[in-house]
Chains A and B, each alone.
Chain A
Amino acid sequence: MAFREYKIGAVMFGVALSLSMFITLVMPSFNIISVGSTAVALDKQLTYGYNSGFTFSDPFLTGGAAPHRVVLRKDPASGADMEPVTAYVFSAGMPFPSGILHPAVLGEGTDDLSVEQGRINEASVEQGAVFLVQHGSYNGAEYPYIENATATRGWLPDAVLTAAGDANTSYAGAGKVIFVREGCWWCHTLLPEQTQDFQYFGAPPYLGDFNGESPTAFGSDRKAPDLLRVGARNSSKEWMMMHFFNPRLVQPHSIMPRFDYLWGETDANGNKIDYTAWRKEYLEYRRGERITPPEVPVPAPGSEARYLIDFVLNLK
């Protein structure tokens, strides 16, 4: 640094960059930290779990570390009938989402209720836990909060999964992992815009809808319909199944890739899926040599296709 000017310049550079980072990082973080969770945010983080992208607990993004969401009609502890309740089941070893690990993420009120009444700080990853979303009041205002049903009601993860059964279990959490891995978000956004889009794609999300979700996977570049509320437009499992297997079956002009490989080896009845034969018959159908397209196999319960369908139908 031969010249004094260079010393001054280096200091100025540091000051300018720090100022810029103060304005663009520190100042917005005050706003973002003060955002309280909505019930949607609690539902999302409990459905999707710790993270839907890469983590060391699920390095290949198979969805194996994601929780299950079930609908219960009987109390799993006593066996008594009850009003249907949505429960989020973290089996032993499944990492908890941010809001459970650091309740401050949930925002004032929700944070206090979840700890004091919901006893979420008693949940342990080793044993697993079952959570519910509840509403309560704190200092005179209403907040949603998380209840640790394992502590408050003695519901154990395995008992809850058995009580609900596969038909009442949603794999939306694992489905979001597949959504991230398969790059659906390169074509679809999860963010209806604030300026238009209302009528077609539904209302844009609220500020507090994201606490604890990771990654948010908004998507930047839209080549296809926004999916944030697709389950409200189209709730047909059949349609989704056919559409994922080969989008051109239901929408001849679609540019969406086929995701038939997510079906895996066998279908729901345990029969081996013969992709070569299917494609041959499909080509015949396209050429007009067949009147109907070949049947789309029903995905097996543990298949990635099932996860993805559960995820998409859960977007409401």
Chain B
Amino acid sequence: MLMKYLFAKNEDIPPGTATLFFSFSSIVWFIIGTGLGSFNAAKLAFPDWVTGMEYFAFGKMRQVHVMAVIFGWISMAFAAAMMYITPALGNTKLWSEKLALWSCMNWNIGLALALISLWMGMTSGREYSDFIYPFDLIILFGVILPVALNVWMTIAHRRTQGIYTTNWFFAGSIFMLMIVLLVGNLPEYFHLTGLTEAYLTWWNAHNILGLWITPVAAAIAYYTIPKITGNPLYSHRIGHLHFWSIVIFYSTPAAHHLMSAPLPEWLKSFASVEGVLILVPAIAFVSNILLTLQGKWNMFVENIEVRFTVTGVLLAIPLNMQGGFQQTRSINWYIHGTGWIVAHAHLALLGFSTFIEVAAVYYGLQMIMKRKLYSLALANFHFWMLLIGFSIYWISMTIAGLIQGAGKIYEVPYIDIVIAEHPYMIARWFGGTLVFLGNCVWLYNMYMTAREGTVVPQGRMVHELAYER
């Protein structure tokens, strides 16, 4: 079916086809990515399991998990959401469905090749920009640029007067992502070395998270919550505050990832202060969404997309409390480099951001296919597997991190830390595996929705229909 549309005339492609392909691709990458995560966790818990094999060594697989979930699942789910939300908010069609389909295909192929090369050990050795730079360039110009063009041109051709909050975030974030990928990989393009390389590595990592993943996830919630509950957004002004404070405060604290490295002290102090200021966009976002829900909290229980989105938004509260304070010097020295950070990373990506995107993919797929979700029971199962699995992961790694921090400052022999952490490593593996299993059920549910979901009648919205199973 993809082949048919890739070479069709743009007008002949049904609107939403790109979302369809992006959504299913993202679910598949989600399964692959979490499967790899679970495999890695098993290797840390049981080091002699699948051992002594070059391609199944932990050091070769870990970055493949991270890149698969960030660029396969999260970013592709973003693209899926952008491809249906941007036109819907502009009361128009996507600028070029065909370009979007091509970018989807390039994305899948490019990412698969990039991940395989990474798995083979071809790496730049720089965290979060592990891909070798030819692939960075392919992803930037073959994938991100076409998606960005589509978003920008759709907004330019909108048939509404104003631009809704979600669309500023989409247009702004994808622009910032391109700048970040260009600048963050300068050390690879131009062979910059030493502290410049170290600092730019974390400038890149921080800004991919801060200027792409966090704001786009928030932008999606700005769409799904008002749309599904029927309540207008509580405050557009708070939305403005959120947007501008992201641009100003979230783009500056990159150095907080290197608090104990020999970087200029002023830079670390500056990053520390700016990092606390991230609480401004965070509080603006969370309060805006929760206040939008006034009078509709019943949907938190009854509607699966609202439940996922609001859970994600609620998880943003502990996330930002951690984020705001863990990079102050007084806390960072204790938790830096421990499992606490791994827990925090999963709270951000597997908690906050993933839950919001899952909702966007659920909702988008039903809208595009004009079919009601096949089974609420399976979706509930998916929700609880994700939430319970994530919670086990987060709690166990947070405890492991605190143990490690204590071990670090009291300078106990390292092996004692390894022994003390072991039960938590097993718990993390167990929790993560629940997430992986839940996702397999999700794919089945969406597949069945495509085949057997009740067709939504003309002029009705999917969330107006009752669930059947």
Contact B261 A191 (CB under 8 A): yes
Query: Which residue on chain B has the smallest CB distance to residue A35?
Result: B195
B192 to chain A, nearest CB (A): 8
- Is B457 in contact with chain A by the CB < 8 A criterion? no
- Given the interface pairs A60-B121, A61-B122, A220-B127, the reply to whether A186 lies near B58 with Cβ below 8 Å is yes
Out of B133, B199, B248, B411, name the residue touching A32 (CB < 8 Å).
Answer: B199
Interface residues of B in 287-311 (CB under 8 A from A): none
Out of B123, B247, B422, name the residue touching A180 (CB < 8 Å).
Answer: B123
Query: Roughly how many angstroms separate A182 CA and B58 CA in the complex, as a whole number?
Result: 8
**At the interface with chain B, which of A71-79, A151-159, A205-213?**
A205-213
Interface residues of B in 94-129 (CB under 8 A from A): 120-127
Query: Roughly how many angstroms separate A35 CA and B262 CA in the complex, as a whole number?
Result: 11
- Chain A residue contacts of B126, Cβ below 8 A: 53, 215
**At the interface with chain A, which of B252-260, B275-283, B375-383, B446-454?**
B252-260
- Is A92 in contact with chain B by the CB < 8 A criterion? no
Interface of A is mostly: loop
Contact A16 B194 (CB under 8 A): no
- Chain A residue contacts of B47, Cβ below 8 A: 247-248, 254-257
Interface centre among B122, B179, B195 (most CB of A within 10 A): B195
* 0/1 string, B165-178, CB within 8 A of A gives 1: 00010001000100
Contact B193 A212 (CB under 8 A): yes
**At the interface with chain A, which of B23-31, B227-235, B359-367, B413-421?**
B413-421
- Chain A residue contacts of B419, Cβ below 8 A: 253
Query: Which residue on chain A has the smallest CB distance to residue B60?
Result: A183
Out of A28, A199, A200, A213, name the residue touching B199 (CB < 8 Å).
Answer: A28
- Is B187 in contact with chain A by the CB < 8 A criterion? yes
**At the interface with chain B, which of A17-25, A141-149, A165-173?**
A17-25
Query: Roughly how many angstroms separate A50 CA and B197 CA in the complex, as a whole number?
Result: 13
- Is A185 in contact with chain B by the CB < 8 A criterion? yes
A245 to chain B, nearest CB (A): 9
Contact B191 A20 (CB under 8 A): no
B67 to chain A, nearest CB (A): 13
Out of B62, B123, B193, B198, name the residue touching A98 (CB < 8 Å).
Answer: B193
Contact B194 A105 (CB under 8 A): yes
A70 to chain B, nearest CB (A): 24
* 0/1 string, A247-279, CB within 8 A of B gives 1: 110010111111111000000000000010001
Contact A196 B409 (CB under 8 A): yes
- Is A123 in contact with chain B by the CB < 8 A criterion? no
* 0/1 string, B146-174, CB within 8 A of A gives 1: 00000000001000011100001000100
Contact B261 A197 (CB under 8 A): no
* 0/1 string, B329-366, CB within 8 A of A gives 1: 00001001111011000000000000000000000000
- Is B54 in contact with chain A by the CB < 8 A criterion? yes
Contact B183 A225 (CB under 8 A): no
Query: Which residue on chain A has the smallest CB distance to residue B156?
Result: A1
Contact B341 A210 (CB under 8 A): no
B21 to chain A, nearest CB (A): 31
Query: Roughly how many angstroms separate A269 CA and B101 CA in the complex, as a whole number?
Result: 57
- Chain A residue contacts of B132, Cβ below 8 A: 53-54, 59
* 0/1 string, A41-81, CB within 8 A of B gives 1: 10001000011111000011100000000000000000000
- Given the interface pairs A20-B251, A24-B255, A257-B59, the reply to whether A222 lies near B244 with Cβ below 8 Å is no
- Is B371 in contact with chain A by the CB < 8 A criterion? no
- Chain B residue contacts of A189, Cβ below 8 A: 337
- Given the interface pairs A31-B264, A258-B52, the reply to whether A215 lies near B201 with Cβ below 8 Å is yes
Contact B62 A25 (CB under 8 A): no
Out of A25, A205, A253, name the residue touching B203 (CB < 8 Å).
Answer: A25
- Is A224 in contact with chain B by the CB < 8 A criterion? yes
Query: Roughly how many angstroms separate A59 CA and B121 CA in the complex, as a whole number?
Result: 9
B134 to chain A, nearest CB (A): 9
Contact A197 B194 (CB under 8 A): no
- Is B57 in contact with chain A by the CB < 8 A criterion? yes
Contact A24 B254 (CB under 8 A): yes
Contact B191 A220 (CB under 8 A): no
Contact B176 A17 (CB under 8 A): yes
Query: Which residue on chain B has the smallest CB distance to residue A33?
Result: B196
- Is B263 in contact with chain A by the CB < 8 A criterion? yes
Query: Roughly how many angstroms separate A3 CA and B158 CA in the complex, as a whole number?
Result: 13
- Chain A residue contacts of B194, Cβ below 8 A: 32, 41, 98, 105, 210-214, 216
Query: Roughly how many angstroms separate A213 CA and B197 CA in the complex, as a whole number?
Result: 9
Contact A257 B341 (CB under 8 A): no
- Given the interface pairs A185-B125, A196-B409, A214-B187, the reply to whether A221 lies near B337 with Cβ below 8 Å is yes
Query: Roughly how many angstroms separate A235 CA and B401 CA in the complex, as a whole number?
Result: 30
- Given the interface pairs A59-B122, A183-B58, the reply to whether A215 lies near B252 with Cβ below 8 Å is no
- Chain A residue contacts of B121, Cβ below 8 A: 60-61, 181-182
- Chain B residue contacts of A217, Cβ below 8 A: 125
Query: Which residue on chain A has the smallest CB distance to residue B240?
Result: A9
Binding site for A on B (CB under 8 A): 43-44, 47-48, 51-54, 57-60, 62-63, 120-127, 132-133, 156, 161-163, 168, 172, 176, 179, 183, 187-188, 191-199, 201, 203, 244, 247-248, 251-252, 254-255, 257-258, 260-264, 267, 270, 333, 336-339, 341-342, 404, 408-409, 411, 414-415, 418-419, 422, 425
Binding site for B on A (CB under 8 A): 1-3, 6, 9, 12-13, 16-17, 20-21, 23-25, 27-29, 31-32, 35, 41, 45, 50-54, 59-61, 97-98, 105, 180-187, 189, 191, 193-197, 199-200, 204-207, 209-225, 246-248, 251, 253-261, 275, 279
15 new A-B contacts at CB < 8 Å, known A210-B195, A210-B198, A220-B341: A2-B161, A6-B163, A17-B176, A17-B251, A23-B270, A54-B124, A183-B59, A184-B59, A187-B58, A189-B337, A191-B260, A193-B260, A193-B336, A213-B193, A261-B54
Q: 16 A–B contact pairs at CB < 8 A?
A: A2-B161, A6-B163, A9-B168, A16-B248, A24-B203, A54-B132, A186-B62, A194-B261, A213-B193, A216-B195, A220-B127, A222-B404, A224-B414, A248-B48, A255-B425, A258-B48
